Structures are given as structure tokens and as C-alpha cells.
Structure 1
Amino acid sequence: MDWTDRVLELEVGPVAHGGHCVARHEGRVLFVRHAIPGERVRAVVTEDQGGSFCLADTISVLEASPDRVPAPCPWARAGGCGGCDFQHVTPPAQRALKTAVLREQLTRLGGLTGGLADTVEVEELPGGPLGWRQRLRLAVDDEGRAGLRAHHTHEVVPISDCLLAPAGLLDDLLERRWRPGDEIEVAVDVRGERHLGAGVPPAERSASVQHAAGRDWELSPGAFWQVHPELADTLVEVVREWAAAPGGGTAWDLYGGVGLFAAVLAEQVGPRGSVTVVESARQAVADGERALRDLPQVAFRVGRVERVVTGLPDPTVVVADPPRKGLGRTMVDELCARAPERIVYVACDPAALGRDVKLFADRGYALAALRSFDAFPMTHHMESVALFRPADRS
């Protein structure tokens, strides 16, 4: 029986990865948005593909959690914008939910018991839960109006603001009419200036400047940079501490973008060492070469990481910041076969991190340290940094 559009009364169970909580009804599992563990809610089924589970969205709360608060944004609701998962939850409770998800992924997928899987906490970054988002992408509906996508669909929700972005950033962009189907890239730089990328006429596009690792980075329109203003330097400091690349050593910065971590590694290996940045985006490499032209020990290679590294000399230290899917078996096998002393792994998805923790363990590398940061308040996302070392030295 298809449960789509059916309204159910549910007892809400634990949080699940993806911004949902788990509930059960008549032998089936429901992943429920806009709920909190321990609540009793009415929810409408939004998607049912006929399997053992379906998706639902809370439409009324019968028994509320003490962690529930009014969502500050009117579009953070059932049928609204899909960007925020936890606006109805106090910020400390949001971090507790993310911590529970991270620990569960490390245990279930990573095979860890005790230790870091029981003690890691998702840490708060300065700046508060609103106004932090430095980069976002607006979608354009069939009528040319810019907005944000609804959860799990391509539907565009027209909005009058986004509270995660700095105040006033989007005002005129939301009033304009755009070409249907386009996406508009918007970024804020270190000076608070707005820059536009894809989706706008070339004459309106401009490079932005960010600051991290003690230097300025001039970024081409659309170039990747961390969305939270405090995250880049936070990651830099963790990488600096955990990489500990020796003077004269050989370091890799994989999926390196403009070379943010390469700047740190170059300081550590010094002029007698070498740092190789591997990145597939040519424009990011051009930006990075310009920013790091004072560091001759840094070399950029353009291409797919799994192909380029096969021709590189063995590293002493590796820093890897892969896409959301993680490293995967092929890359973990390649890295471990090269026997680096340390692997510092920046992960934006706890499930991918959990899977890779298990792969590293199978190849003799243990998780030696782990930190995680609430770099995306009001959403289910987090950013983690893991240190792997050979099991006999960790």
C-alpha cells in the first residue's frame, strides 16, 4: 500500500543521518523531518517507494521536546525549504544530535567500540547559528524567480530572504527575474563584499578575496571556499598540529583546491622539502599557483587524484579533503600502500568517514585523533578532521 500523503501519529525515536528522526508504524520505518527524539507528532508521508521505509514531515507537535524552539525562518517547515533541518531545535541540542549521528556512524560503519567513538563531540564555532553562510546557490523556477530547493526535490521554493546568509545579501537578487532553470552563485568575501558567479551575465561576475593561513587568497568566480567564515582557519590549525610534516619531508595535499593546506605543509617541510597539491579543477589550480607563488616547494598537479598519485614519490605526510563520498577503497589502499607516517583526513560526511575508518583499519591504519565542528548550524551537516597513523605507532 502506498502511504504517500497519509497522516500518521508517531512516537519519534533517535536521530538518523540526513536530518531525520526515526519512527515506526505498522512494521515500517519512517524517517521524519522537523521532529526531535522523544516527541509525539503528526506527520504526513512525503515519499513512499514501496519498501520497508518511507519519508515523512512533521505537520503538528502533540508532545514537544524541551529542546524545541520556534523556527526563526518561515520557510523552515513541512513543504518548505530543504536547506535547514534543525531550526526548530536549540543550538546546543543541534550539536548533541550531530554528535549522536557521528558516534553512531563511527560505531556502525567504522567498527569502533569505545574510545573516540564514545567521546568525540561536535564543537561550536564562533558567530552564532544565523548569518554565517558565505556561499550559497539560488535556484530559479519556471517563472524566473530565484529561491531555494525543497527537500528531496527539484522544486524551487520562492523566498524573501535566507537567514543563514548575511543580512541583505540576497535582497535585490530575489527581486530580479532570471532565466528559468539557471542557478545563481553568490559569495561574500573577507571584506563583506558580495560576488556573483555562475548564472549571471559575465560583466557581473567578479573575483573575491578570502584570508586564511596568514595570507590572502584571490578566488575566481565560483571557486570553492568553506562556507563558514571561521572554518578555514579552524581546519588550518588542526592540520598544522596533526600533520607535523618534518623538515625536508614530502607531503601531499589531495583534493587540494587552491592549496590552503599546502600553505601549512610548506611551512613545515621548508625549502628542502616538497608539497604536491592534486586538484581536478583547473581554475582552482590557477588561483592556488598565484596565491602560493612565494613557496617554490609547492607544486600543483591538475587531474583526478587516483590517477595523479600513482606517479608521485612516496609521501611522509598526506592531507586529504575528498568530496562528500569520501576516499573509498581504491584511494585508501593506495595511500596505505605508500606508508605515510600520518594521514590527515578532512571529512564533510560522517557516513563516508565511518566507512573509510573501517577501510583504513583493514589496511593497518588506526584512527588516532578526531575533531568535529558545527560548521553548518541549523542543518544536519558537520565537518570533521581525522588523524590516521600506522596501528603499531598510534
Structure 2
Amino acid sequence: MTQNPELELTIGPPAHGGHCVARHEGRVIFVRHALPGEVVKARLTEHDDDARFWRADATEVVQSSSDRVNHPWPLADAGLAGLRGTRPVGGAEFGHIDLSAQRRLKSEIFSEQLARLGKIERDITVEPVPDEAPDGLGWRTRVGFAVDPDGHLAMHEHRSNVLIPVADMPLAVPAINGLALWNLDFSGLDGVEVAAGSGDDEPLVLLKTRQDRPNRRIRAVAEEIQGASVAAWNPETGSLTQLRGKTWVRETVGNHSFRVTGEGFWQIHRSAPAVLTAAVLKGLDAAPGLRLADLYAGAGLFTAALAERVGEAGSVLSVEGSSAASRDARRNLHGRAHVDIVQGKVEKVLRERRPHLDAVVLDPPRAGAGREVVRAMTGTGAKSVVYVSCDPASFARDAAYFTAAGWSLESLRVLDLYPHTHHMESVAVFRGE
């Protein structure tokens, strides 16, 4: 790291991805761990001569913004990392910013992405979650760790293969930190995933391995973990082997209970499932007897709420690409005859089934839905679409596809479900002709 050059830069506006924009001799530099208006010393992390832009980490603040605060996680603090001769771990790149200022920056970023990529001009206000902790910590219910050569839990430096050992995770809920997994030796494993459900059940620890049959070493590690269910997980084959307790966690949202197996997708923020479900139902305004679809449905979070709202006189088509998540959805929605759970790619299911719908809910992965899925949705007869997104850039691109098809963006809420990071969640309502 010491061979990378250091520059003094005046920091410009925020950019999507957790950076701010600076310029040096006509070249754009995306700088992390800085704030607009600051003057910083920044160490270049990517600086090929023929690159369109460079990347850098701010390591020393020459002129500070009034929005700068002490970072709550020393390992993610760029200044402290510079003193150590390392780079900060990823995952809390906005921790040096006051929480209210974080939301103002996110609002600017979302508005810019929507205008530039979606051709929609709209002022955005990023909303805090009603029960957020004052310090913005303790919200992550899912955490993934690597394992360093010495067997310690570790996290990567941003955009790097370099591992930094960790001894806490301030963004995680107490149930995860309380396991104190950093005190154990995980030698021989490829990584560790931890999930904490919303009930009183124990967390689930997944030991990542390339073996479908756990060896003696993996079983010995499992014995050392106290206060959690433990399973071995081969991400290449999807094999999941119970070592102690359950291979799933229980989640409860309102009157609904959900089983989420292994590494299955679930909203990360402890309050996100309830907050997003309420936002979806408000935006959809679903009534008994309607025909709905829940696309990228996961374990059935929104499907369950939609099925309850439309009743047996209506119907819900629930589509999910992951076979494991689709199996969970079938368990979670067992006995609801008006729910049709289909495992497969969304675009393929819509193309082959050609359902006639009144409304659609979708919560696609970070890459967004894409032109083909938007075209298929707008061809179902639906008059409204509620779009839940975790990425402003992919959402903006998809919004452009909707408007090109004659649809309008009726409402848009952006929620700060990822404090101390650049990420945010949005819930939009599109109306057709």
C-alpha cells in the first residue's frame, strides 16, 4: 500500500457507490471516506495511466466538514487504517458522516441517478426507519465473514483480496455479536455466514466449505460454537448439512411466520420486513378479489401479505428463481389455495404463462428487473406496479423503461435501511394507462 501515491484533493459532490468526486489535473477521482467541500490527503488505490478515472481513500483530513463525526467502527475508519498501513474494511463507508447528513447525501445521489438514468426529475427525501437506534448501529441480521490464513474471522478491504481480522461487527444485531465468533479458530473453512431471526430462536451459523460431507475438522468447529444452530454449507453445490440445531431461522412479521433456510434471502435490517410490507400494501391498495403477482418473491414475505389482503376470492402468483427460497415459500404459504408458487426465472414465467393481472409487486436483485421483465409486466393488463429496489441506478434504468411504455411514476419513498453505508431502499408505485 505504501507504494501508492498520495494527493491532496478538494472534494466535490457525492456519487453513487459510496464515493465523492474529486479532480486532479483533469482526471476524475472517486474518493471514499471524504465529504463534499473537504480538503483531504487521499491515497490512490487504482490509478492506471490509461484508466478513465482513478479511485482513492481519504487518509487525512486537511479541512474538515461540519458533518464529519468519529467513525463508530475503527476497522472501517480510513484515517486509522492509514496509520496502521492498511485500508479500511468495506461495509461502513459512511460511518464518518453524521446520520442526518448521510441521508441528505443519499437523497442527492438518488435524485441524480433518477434524473440522469431515468430522465425523471424529482426531489427525494431519504426517510429514517421509525425505530432506528440513535447511533444507527445494531441493525444487521445477516453478516458474512471470510477466514484469514490464521483461522480468524476477517473482512476484505474494499475492492481487494486483502483480509483484515475482525473482533466485532457494530452494525450487527446483539444476537450476532453475542456469539463472539472472533474468539474461535475457523482454520480449514472458506467463510462463515450468520443469520439472526426475529424470534427467540438461536441464530444460525453457516460454515462455508467446498465439501458436501463435513469432515472431522468442520464438526469440531461446530462443537465450539455456543448459543447457535450450526450447519455446513457448500455454496457451489448448495448442499446444507445440519451439525447442531436447525438449518433455518424463523422470522415473524405481523401475523405471519416465515422459515428461511440456510443462506436464503431475507431483508437485512431488523425492521425492514415490517416497514417494507406496510409500504407495499399502502402503495398497492390491494382489495379482496384482485389478481396479483409477487415477483422475485423469496421466502414469501410480500406474498403472504398480498394473499391475506385479496382473500380467497383473489389470487397471487408468486415467482422466485432460487429453488431453496421457493421451497421455503411453499412451506410458509402451505394451505393457501389461492397462491400459486412457481420456481423459475421471472421473465420466462411471465412469457410462458401470460397471466392476466390487476397489479404486480416486485423486489428484484441489485441488478434490477431489466427491459424484458418490465415489458412482460406491462403486458399483463396490470394497472399498477409496486417496485421495491435496493439500488438507485438499476431502479432509475427500469423507471425509464416504464415511462417509455407510457407508465407514470406516481409515488416514490426512499428508506434508510442501511445506516453508515451508501445503500438505500426505495418503494415506488407506477401506474399504467
Shorter-chain TM band = over 0.9
Partner of 2:29: 30
Give me the whole-angstrom Cα distance separating, in 1, the residues matched to 2:343 and 2:187: 33
Q: Which secondary structure does the structure 1 equivalent of 2:12 belong to?
A: coil
Aligned with 1:127 (options 132, 150, 153): 132
| Structure 1: gaps (5+ residues) | none
Q: Which secondary structure does the structure 2 equivalent of 1:142 belong to?
A: coil
Q: Which secondary structure does the structure 1 equivalent of 2:118 belong to?
A: coil
Give me the whole-angstrom Cα distance separating, in 2, the residues matched to 1:253 and 1:64: 46
Q: Which secondary structure does the structure 2 equivalent of 1:29 belong to?
A: strand
Partner of 1:174: 182
Partner of 1:387: 429
Partner of 1:370: 412
- Which stretch shifts more, 156-165 or 199-208? 199-208
Deviations 1:95-143 (A, max 9, x none): 1111111011111111012xxx11x211101222101110011111233
Amino acid at match of 1:155: V
1:41 Cα shift?
0.5
> Do structure 1's residue 106 and structure 2's residue 118 form an aligned pair?
no
Give me the whole-angstrom Cα distance separating, in 2, the residues matched to 1:104 and 1:301: 36
Deviations 1:359-394 (A, max 9, x none): 11101111111001110100000010111112x4xx
> Do structure 1's residue 264 and structure 2's residue 268 form an aligned pair?
no
Deviations 1:73-101 (A, max 9, x none): 11112301111111100110011111111
Partner of 1:234: 275
1:46, 1:56 within 8 Å by CA — same for their partners in 2? yes
> Do structure 1's residue 159 and structure 2's residue 180 form an aligned pair?
no
Deviations 1:226-281 (A, max 9, x none): 11111111111111111123432211100001111111221232212110110111
Partner of 2:347: 306
> Do structure 1's residue 203 and structure 2's residue 243 form an aligned pair?
yes
1:213, 1:236 within 8 Å by CA — same for their partners in 2? no
Give me the whole-angstrom Cα distance separating, in 1, the residues matched to 2:315 and 2:332: 17
Give me the whole-angstrom Cα distance separating, in 1, the residues matched to 2:175 and 2:376: 47
1:57 Cα shift?
0.4
Partner of 1:191: 199
Amino acid at match of 1:374: D
Give me the whole-angstrom Cα distance separating, in 2, the residues matched to 1:267 and 1:357: 28
Partner of 2:149: 142
Give me the whole-angstrom Cα distance separating, in 2, the residues matched to 1:362 and 1:218: 39
TM-score when scaled to structure 2? 0.85
> Do structure 1's residue 358 and structure 2's residue 400 form an aligned pair?
yes
1:213, 1:263 within 8 Å by CA — same for their partners in 2? no
Q: Which secondary structure does the structure 2 equivalent of 1:197 belong to?
A: strand
Give me the whole-angstrom Cα distance separating, in 2, the residues matched to 1:104 and 1:214: 39
1:154 Cα shift?
2.5
Deviations 1:261-307 (A, max 9, x none): 11122123221211011011122122222222242211110111111
Give me the whole-angstrom Cα distance separating, in 1, the residues matched to 2:156 and 2:71: 18
Give me the whole-angstrom Cα distance separating, in 1, the residues matched to 2:339 and 2:116: 39
Q: Cα RMSD (Å) of the superposition? A: 1.7
Change (3 A) 1:279 1:168: closer
1:341 Cα shift?
0.9
Q: How does 1:42-57 map to 2 (within 5 A)?
A: 42-49=41-48, 50-57=50-57
Identical pairs, percent:
40
- Which stretch shifts more, 244-253 or 364-373? 244-253
Query: Where does structure 1 differ by over 3 angstroms across 4 or more consecutive aligned residues?
Result: none
1:83, 1:149 within 8 Å by CA — same for their partners in 2? no
Amino acid at match of 1:223: G
Give me the whole-angstrom Cα distance separating, in 1, the residues matched to 2:284 and 2:161: 41
Q: Which secondary structure does the structure 2 equivalent of 1:41 belong to?
A: strand
Change (3 A) 1:373 1:347: same
Partner of 1:7: 6
Aligned with 1:293 (options 309, 315, 334): 334
Give me the whole-angstrom Cα distance separating, in 2, the residues matched to 1:237 and 1:57: 39
Give me the whole-angstrom Cα distance separating, in 2, the residues matched to 1:330 and 1:179: 45
Partner of 2:253: 212
Give me the whole-angstrom Cα distance separating, in 2, the residues matched to 1:264 and 1:220: 20
1:187 Cα shift?
0.9
2:141, 2:176 within 8 Å by CA — same for their partners in 1? no
2:259, 2:299 within 8 Å by CA — same for their partners in 1? no
- Which stretch shifts more, 341-350 or 71-80? 71-80
TM-score when scaled to structure 1? 0.94
1:179 Cα shift?
4.1
1:355 Cα shift?
0.7
Aligned with 1:326 (options 368, 371, 375): 368
Deviations 1:139-176 (A, max 9, x none): 11233221112101222211110100124724532122
| Structure 2: gaps (5+ residues) | 79-86, 209-230, 233-241
